[in-house]
Structure 1
Amino acid sequence: MAPTNKIKLIVLSSVSPPPGSVPATSLPLTFLDLPWLPFPPGQPLFFYHFPISTLQFTQTVLPNLRHSLSFTLQYFFPFAGKLVLPPEPNKPFIEYTEGDSVSLTVAESDGDFSYLSGDGQRKFEDLHCLVPKLPDGEKDSLLAIQITVFPGCGICFGFALRPVVADGRTFDNFLKMWASLTRKNGGEDLHCSASIHDRSVIHDPSGLESTFLKEWWKIKKSEEKELLHSTCSNFHDMVRTTFVLGRPEMEKIKKWILLHGSKHMLLSPYVLTCAYVWVCWMKTHWPIDEDSEKIHYFGFIAGGITRMNYPVPTSYVGNCVAFGRLGAIRKDLMAENGIVYAAKVIGNTIKKLDGNVLGGAKNWISEWKILLESELHVTITGSPKLKFYSLDFGWGRPEKIEVSIDEMRAISLCESRDVVGGIEIGLTLPKSKMDRFSSLFIKGLNNLF
């Protein structure tokens, strides 16, 4: 099936911080950055209803966006820098020199904006062409941006961001500063909280850096590094769909769990959503009576800012997140009370991270490798806490957000745009499996009570 969203490149450019605003800088990777080295770029999309022609956009809107992006990059200059991978055993680092830039592309689409920015099934390849490619070079670029104009309908901001440079919190800070400056028409008198790049704010009392470096070099020297770069290879059969769990649905799930499980379980909206989606995912992919003793893995990201036993500024530019990983037996997840079991093991893992966010951290890279090598896994990306739907560049909040469309057996979560307290769930699957997942998702909620 041919793609229905054709893209025409209009402007190819690059944006640097203002001349002289940032000295040449070399930033070492901390032990919290290193685990992200093998991972591919995140690919978020932000759709805005903004009826404008391509010519109007390039002449009246783009100059302000470029100017405000340049000013923002002086606070987030690592995004314009390069990832340097020196020979073993040296540690990778981020290097910024005068003139380093972020690739900014403007494109035009003849696709259906309402369809692409909706919740229903959309061709993966139609969304994928809205994501920029990071420029090739001797050193790895870290961020690229593509703005696609749907003439008379709207625009889409697409990003390719290497996770080694920033976690979701840092990326959110970057976007909100850029948007705020754009709303003020590039006004540089805006009060900007100073971003912190000092790597000494991240402490490594257990010497995890050396452990992670050894693991990274093992991956780097082998073909296994390609494992973490896997993505959708059969684009034409893949579809992207968004589901929403609101408070009433979460209460139904919670009521069921309390009726059939312990009253002392952690049942936050995040846990309820993850548990329900995981069980639906399991029933979509695996027959109930096949290899019932198989262990399935579930991975997610846990924020570290509030979990470290020392203060880390929220304006710190870099990674401050931990990994959560757990395993569960297939027959327990597929049973009548599979949601109860899923919620229990997910909640218990979060409790452990709350108590000791770096507990078991020495195995982060090796465990993620095990998880991603196995077909019996699912990972969660994104966080409902980031409030991406508040991102306003001057033409209103986003019509739709895709946290990351990269497949990798990942399910993305973000806050709901229109349902108060709700969570949007995004996933990419072959169409036949998406139809089954959708049926299970809807019927499961109807059958709880």
Structure 2
Amino acid sequence: MSSGATVTVVERCAISPPPRSTPPATLPLTFFDIPWLFFSPSQPIFFFSSASAAAAVPKLKHSLSLALTHFFPLAGKLALSAEPRLEYNDTDSVLLIVAAAPDGGAFKNLAGNHRRSCGDFRRLVPEMGGGDGPVLAVQITVFPEMGISIGFALRNAAADWRTFNNFLKEWAWICKNGAGGRHVASHDRSVILDTSGLRSFFLTEFWKLKNEIKESNYYKSSNNDIVRATFVLGPKEMGEIKKWILTRSDLLFGSTQLLLSPYVVACAFIWVCWMKAHWCTDASVVHYFGFIAGGLTRLPFAVPSNYAGNCVGFGRSAARRGELVGEDGVVHAAKAIGDTVKKLNVDMLSGARNWISEWEELRESELHITVSGSPKLDLYDLDFGWGRPVKLEEVSIHNHNAISLSESREVIGGIEIGVALPPLKMDAFTTLFNKV
């Protein structure tokens, strides 16, 4: 499938939970959900290599219906009234698109790590805008004799990646094994305790900014001149980066103990490569690195592990450009990210009132970078009956200055990094990354 090729839509259908399996429901958005109203939908895509996978499309439809029994808000709608909420009625459904690629030859190209056109990936995921409306759409694309891709458009206000991963595992389990899924979701919003009035504060912020900024700023179309590639950091490479950080940290920060988890080390290295690939002459300008942190283990109140909704906080690390692009750039980056993680570990909600205002600064500038996904999710274990995915991608990073992170499929303990950049900047990033 070249950049000019298109896929052919074979079918559009509405998939609902089985009749009378799920009563109508209204779920208020919590203070964890509301900040995600500013984000364009996530667009993950999974590639499965199997010559017979196309024959499973009817089974995928049926098992999706059964999985939605437990994750019914995903079949519902987002209603942005004075009190934003998720609504589900028995007439609601998930749009499922079945498409066909002109031939199977493009499958290996798209499911690789090498540089590819972003435009080709946009044809494999559903489009979804903002405002009121559905929260999930699915597209199954058949590559003859090679395999299929399953792409999604997900409104993040409805579910974080932990919740969506549970839904995917439920769907895959039912598809592979028949009825009797493993995940029974909890939709009880009362478990999210709001003792500081964050929900009211965020609603005020949302309506103020929503009226000031055009919706098109949140739901931009990707530029076909952008290319994407996947990079992998294994334990060996991360160990070498960590060793370098430790040899320099005493000289720079004295006895200060740095938090150097694999996540922090990988993000620090990527941040420096990204900043060096983006030209800026002012060494004093501040760059930001934005990421999310899971709340189940960080909150002062208990949230059940099967809670189906957002439960993540926002972290934003800062460093001056002169620090990041210098000889000790990765050391400064690691300290900045690690210090932010430490603060989130102690009290994830202490800076919560700044979540929306701080992340607005990241949105429209190449000086900053955000992270989508997490290497802690076992997304490569997803199995609908024809084995694990051969590749996964997050298409939405094309729209923003963002990278995607996931666990590595091939390298145990490794991290896959999805990057989308203009070709010349991708050249620079690749050269810098390969120096590790």
Task: Please report the TM-score for the alignment, with normalisation by the length of structure 1.
Answer: 0.92
Q: Does 1:335 align with 2:326?
A: yes
Moved over 4 A (4+): none
Q: 2:156 aligns with which of 163, 187, 190?
A: 163
Map 1:13-412; keep pairs closer than 5 Å: 13-52=13-52, 57=54, 60-86=55-81, 90-110=82-102, 112-134=106-128, 139-184=132-177, 187-188=178-179, 190-232=180-222, 234-235=223-224, 237-262=225-250, 264-287=257-280, 290-407=281-398, 408-412=400-404
Contact kept, 8 Å, 1:73 with 1:80, in 2: the verdict is yes
Query: How much does 1:229 deviate?
Result: 2.8
Query: How much does 1:375 deviate?
Result: 3.1
Query: How much does 1:192 deviate?
Result: 3.3
Map 1:397-436; keep pairs closer than 5 Å: 397-407=388-398, 408-436=400-428
Counterpart Cα distance in 2 of 1:386 and 1:2:
32
Query: How much does 1:223 deviate?
Result: 2.6
Query: How much does 1:128 deviate?
Result: 1.1
Q: CA RMSD in A?
A: 1.7
Distance 1:441 1:191, change over 3 A: closer
Contact kept, 8 Å, 1:19 with 1:99, in 2: the verdict is no
Query: How much does 1:311 deviate?
Result: 1.3
Distance 1:205 1:359, change over 3 A: same
Counterpart Cα distance in 2 of 1:120 and 1:294:
32
Q: Secondary structure at the match of 1:424?
A: strand
Contact kept, 8 Å, 2:293 with 2:313, in 1: the verdict is yes
Q: Secondary structure at the match of 1:104?
A: strand
Contact kept, 8 Å, 1:42 with 1:162, in 2: the verdict is yes
Contact kept, 8 Å, 2:170 with 2:183, in 1: the verdict is no
Task: Please report the TM-score for the alignment, with normalisation by the length of structure 2.
Answer: 0.95
Contact kept, 8 Å, 2:374 with 2:407, in 1: the verdict is yes
Count of residue pairs the alignment pairs up:
428
Contact kept, 8 Å, 1:391 with 1:398, in 2: the verdict is yes
Contact kept, 8 Å, 2:95 with 2:137, in 1: the verdict is yes
Counterpart Cα distance in 2 of 1:113 and 1:200:
45
Q: Does 1:10 align with 2:5?
A: no
The residue type paired with residue 260 of structure 1 is R
Query: How much does 1:4 deviate?
Result: 4.4
Counterpart Cα distance in 2 of 1:66 and 1:129:
20
Q: Secondary structure at the match of 1:210?
A: helix
Query: How much does 1:224 deviate?
Result: 4.5
Contact kept, 8 Å, 1:386 with 1:414, in 2: the verdict is yes
Deviations 1:255-313 (A, max 9, x none): 000000147211111001100000000110025xx111111111001111111111111
Distance 1:2 1:61, change over 3 A: closer
Counterpart Cα distance in 2 of 1:244 and 1:81:
37
**Any stretches of 5+ residues in structure 1 without a counterpart?**
none
Q: Secondary structure at the match of 1:384?
A: coil
The residue type paired with residue 421 of structure 2 is L
Query: How much does 1:194 deviate?
Result: 2.3
Counterpart Cα distance in 2 of 1:405 and 1:361:
25
Deviations 1:404-440 (A, max 9, x none): 4432000100000000100000011111111111011
Query: How much does 1:226 deviate?
Result: 3.6
Counterpart Cα distance in 2 of 1:91 and 1:228:
21
Counterpart Cα distance in 2 of 1:132 and 1:330:
37
Counterpart Cα distance in 2 of 1:12 and 1:229:
23
The residue type paired with residue 109 of structure 1 is A
Query: How much does 1:66 deviate?
Result: 1.0
**Any stretches of 5+ residues in structure 2 without a counterpart?**
none
The residue type paired with residue 437 of structure 1 is F
Q: Secondary structure at the match of 2:412?
A: coil
Counterpart Cα distance in 1 of 2:331 and 2:410:
28
The residue type paired with residue 76 of structure 1 is F
Deviations 1:100-158 (A, max 9, x none): 1000011011351100000000100011110112389x841100000001001110000
Q: Secondary structure at the match of 2:100?
A: strand
Deviations 1:139-196 (A, max 9, x none): 4110000000100111000000000000000000000000000001xx22x2534210
The percent of aligned pairs where both chains have the same amino acid is 52
Q: Secondary structure at the match of 1:166?
A: coil
Query: How much does 1:99 deviate?
Result: 1.9
The residue type paired with residue 42 of structure 2 is G
Counterpart Cα distance in 1 of 2:183 and 2:278:
47
